[in-house]
Amino acid sequence: MSSDNPIEIVNLRKEYGTFVAVDDLNLSIKKNSFTGFLGPNGAGKSTTLKILTHLINATSGEAYINGIDVTKDPKAALTGVGTVVETPEFYSYLTPKETLKYVGQIIGMSAESISSETSRILAKVKMTEWENKKIGTFSKGMRQRIALGQALMNNPNVIILDEPTSGLDPRGMAEMREVLKNLRNDSNNLTVIMSSHVLHEVSDLCDRIALINHGKMIVQDDISIIGNSDGTKRMIVKVEEAPNKETISKVMGLNNVISAERFGNDIDVMVKGDAGVRVQFFNDVSALNIGAYSVSEEDNLETAYLKLIKESR
Amino acid sequence: MMYFETDDLRQSYVVAKNEIRKFIRGKRFTLYVVLIAIVFALTTALPYVFGGNIGETPGDVIASYVSFVNLLIILAATLFAAVTIVSEFEERTALILFTRPIKKTSIFIGKIVGCIVLETVMIALFYAGIAVVSLIAAGGVSAGLLTSLGLAILFTIAASGIAMFFSSIMKKGSTSAILTFVFLLIIVSVISGAISISTDPWFMVDQASGTIASCIPEFLEMTREMMISSGLLTPEQAATLIAAPDLFKASVAMVAWGAASLILSWLAFIRREF
């Protein structure tokens, strides 16, 4: 296995009776990358990550972490790996400090390392204030930060995150994202794979994308390449009154516009071209006198995602 | 991976310690302690309340208490071992523990050891209480107490193994606990009753665990007197049917039940997926 790819999945397959959840999947996660693992519900993301974390067994294929096949030697493969799978629960009778100590003892850290790591990590996930309170009393957001904290014990070089912000309220999501962002910015030798349905979160955090559907790999590449694969940008034009056919056709007639359609009370426009083209589009829309008061560029990843998923059906 | 290394044992020890801490800090433990205290207090006080005494010889004193030990062990297995594995899945704590670099066998060993240690300590404390009462009331302690304790520990292992089996295959802790309790208290007795028509069911776990009390001669004597006075048995029948048990066979039966159920629950656990 390549030393540049701490995670390497080869022809991985998981069958539940006649249903194929993961269909001979191949995936390579580059060293020091923060990879968003995307796909619609039922695409096989969680199944893949559960095989990687030894929560379920593969039907066939290999899944290497740091060169060790987790399907053959899970204990060795998961050494040096931190995981947050779905929304884990903690032993409610333990405090964050005791939880991290327990995890540290399981992975064989010395008492001194556990003590110093615990303080460092609790500060990192902003839980120092609650370090001696029973986890049973914590909110979901706080628990999820503890979940990330336990994944960071002993400085892992690989972290596997399965929908780490799922089920959190907006504040919890924002707090978790901030912690993940700091983690990305502060770490030199860290490879992260993170499944998520929240595309703007993936855009914000990840530098690479792996997209799967029906258990098969659709595309894996740098986020900048996937987001701009055909140079098309999605623009949303907000107008004073709900757009009629005439308004839509006026927009459609502008230069570099690929498509224009009604999107609620707004107009959803696909524009092909660089930043200069988009400036021109803004000016052209303003000059149309259709009551436009806002033109915003939508997340490219979402556009690319929807297009790729549609093509893969 | 079938091989087991020193680090695997160390991890089992960490899991066992956590398991004991989990139970001690939980409501089930408080409930169990209260139940033991109630049984002990009532057994000690009621004879005096009704103008009698707990016994004049150490054997008599012990005989008053040991008949409850079976039930206390079944309760312990129901409250602790029956939920130890299933709760990891039901409460989603498995997502933390099972994704660490640790073999499932280490987790299994840690959990069963934690349960058995805790249950054994509780039963041993009950026996320590009997010894203290025996010393105060009868001026000594019968050697039969240690024999009874040894058999009680064997039954603790067997009952915990059976509880762990249900815990390994069930989806809910409550179902596992009910099944454990009903199986140990009712189902095995029904099966033993059916078997006894054609042969001696000494190998059944309920029959074997009966020796925890019947290994005390004074307990046997008390039972004979009760059966005769209630008219259920004649003195001759009582002498034949309520005889001193074969402790070796009973021990072998309990060890076999413990070993078989633990192997089955281990196999079920290591194959279980989240």
pLDDT at residue A234 in the model: 82
ipTM: 0.86
Among B7, B91, B95, the residue with its CB nearest the CB of A85 is B95
First to last CA, chain B: 19
CA-nearest of A65, A6, A76, A69 to B101 is: A76
pLDDT at residue A3 in the model: 63
Residues B163, B150: Cα–Cα separation, whole Å: 20
Residues B82, B163: Cα–Cα separation, whole Å: 4
Contacts of B1 in chain A (CB under 8 A): 73, 75
| Chain A residue at shortest CA distance from B17 | A102
| Two structure tokens written together for B144 | 């039969």
* C-beta atoms surrounding A131 within 10 Å: 17
Q: Is B46 left (phi over 0), alpha (psi -120 to 50) or beta?
A: alpha
Residues A298, A268: Cα–Cα separation, whole Å: 10
CB spacing of A105 vs B94 below 8 angstroms? no
How many A×B Cβ pairs under 8 Å? 75
Q: Is B136 a residue whose pLDDT tops 50?
A: yes
| Two structure tokens written together for A61 | 């294929």
Residues B123, B129: Cα–Cα separation, whole Å: 10
Among B1, B26, B96, the residue with its CB nearest the CB of A90 is B96
Q: Is residue A107 within 8 angstroms of chain B, CB to CB? A: yes
List chain A domain ranges: 7-227, 232-312
Contacts of A83 in chain B (CB under 8 A): 95, 99-100
CB spacing of A89 vs B103 below 8 angstroms? no
Contacts of B96 in chain A (CB under 8 A): 88-90, 99, 103, 147, 150
pLDDT at residue B182 in the model: 97
| Chain A residue at shortest CA distance from B110 | A106
Strands (E), chain A: 7-16, 19-29, 34-38, 60-65, 68-69, 81-85, 158-162, 191-195, 208-213, 216-222, 232-239, 257-263, 266-272, 292-297
Contacts of A81 in chain B (CB under 8 A): 101
Sheet holding A34-38: strands in order across?
A81-85, A158-162, A191-195, A34-38, A208-213, A216-222
The H-assigned helical ranges of chain B are 6-24, 27-49, 58-66, 69-76, 82-84, 86-90, 94-97, 104-138, 144-169, 173-182, 188-195, 205-209, 211-214, 217-229, 235-241, 247-271
Q: Is the dihedral of CA B106, B112, B115, B116 positive or negative?
A: negative
Q: Is B126 a residue whose pLDDT tops 90?
A: yes
Mean pLDDT, residues B72-88: 96
Positions in chain A short of pLDDT 50: none
CB spacing of A75 vs B1 below 8 angstroms? yes
CB spacing of B93 vs A108 below 8 angstroms? no
Tell me whether strands A257-263 and A266-272 are parallel, antiparallel or unpaired.
Answer: antiparallel
pLDDT at residue B1 in the model: 46
CB spacing of B99 vs A83 below 8 angstroms? yes
pLDDT at residue B53 in the model: 86
| Two structure tokens written together for A157 | 């070089």
Q: What is the mean pLDDT of chain B?
A: 93
- Nearby residues of A312 by Cβ (< 8 Å), 6 or more positions away: A213, A214, A216, A218
H or E segment to which residue A184 belongs? helix A170-186
- CB-based contact A296:A234 (threshold 8 Å): no
Contacts of A99 in chain B (CB under 8 A): 96
pLDDT at residue A304 in the model: 80
Residues A172, A163: Cα–Cα separation, whole Å: 13
Name the burial class of residue A249, with classes exposed (0-12), middle (13-18) and buried (19+) by CB atoms within 10 angstroms of its CB. exposed
Question: Could you give the C-alpha distances from A279 to A75, A235, A262, A282, in angstroms and in order?
Answer: 55, 11, 21, 5
Residues B41, B49: Cα–Cα separation, whole Å: 12
Residue range A232-312, CATH number: 3.30.70.100
CB spacing of A89 vs B1 below 8 angstroms? no
pLDDT tens for residues B230-256? Answer: 888 888 888 888 888 899 999 999 999
pLDDT tens for residues B15-24? Answer: 999 999 999 9
Residues B80, B163: Cα–Cα separation, whole Å: 9
Residues A305, A142: Cα–Cα separation, whole Å: 31
Q: Is residue A57 within 8 angstroms of chain B, CB to CB? A: yes
The CATH superfamily of A7-227 is P-loop containing nucleotide triphosphate hydrolases (3.40.50.300)
| Two structure tokens written together for B159 | 């009952």
- CB-based contact A228:A272 (threshold 8 Å): no
